[in-house]
Amino acid sequence: MRIKNHRLEGIRFIESPNQDQRPLAEDLDLIVIHCISLPPGQFGTEGIIELFTNRLDPEQHPYYQDIASLRVSAHLVIRRDGEVIQFVPFDRRAFHAGISSYQGRPACNDFSIGIELEGTDDSGYEAIQYDQLNRIIKALIITYPTLSRDRMAGHQEIAPNRKTDPGPFFEWHRLDRENR
């Protein structure tokens, strides 16, 4: 994988309106891993795309009634089949972390890249998702030297009393150790 103009080449790009300029563009030094499925526990739906593009219909599913008004996004989503969709260029701030702190530094959206895996906190992830995630992380580290494999966190680590993803079934040891 390669990154050009802050976007992964050769993947689908669906621009989310839920983004803005980073306070300091050069201040990129954290990768945050999340998980999402919409409706919860269902995979392969258009719910994630609809949520990140503010088109989620609250009448489609009872769960959507509580989240349809949220204005959230991530830089990338890795679906169960390995498809990667980018929603926000890497030099822009995506709205993925919410109220958060990493190593005492608040507002993680300001300095991080958010990557969502299609999944749930209470189930495992597919091998192809780990393969794609490793390829993406390698491309990010090559393109943005301020990033490293030592500065990756799960959403639960940066918002511990609020979030639980990517959950106990995420296998951190499956991430490549090269460049670490």
Note the pLDDT tens digit of each residue in 120-148.
999 999 999 999 999 999 999 999 999 99
E-assigned strands of 40-124? 76-78, 84-86, 92-94, 101-102, 105-106, 112-118
Q: Tell the CATH superfamily of the 3-174 domain.
A: Peptidoglycan recognition protein-like (3.40.80.10)
Note the pLDDT tens digit of each residue in 141-162.
999 999 999 999 999 999 999 9
How many other CB atoms are found less than 10 A from the CB of residue 135? 16
- Residues 97 and 131: their CA atoms lie apart, in Å, by 23
Question: Which residue out of 59, 83, 116, 118 is catalytically annotated?
Answer: 116
- Catalytic residue flag (residue 26): no
pTM of the complete model: 0.96
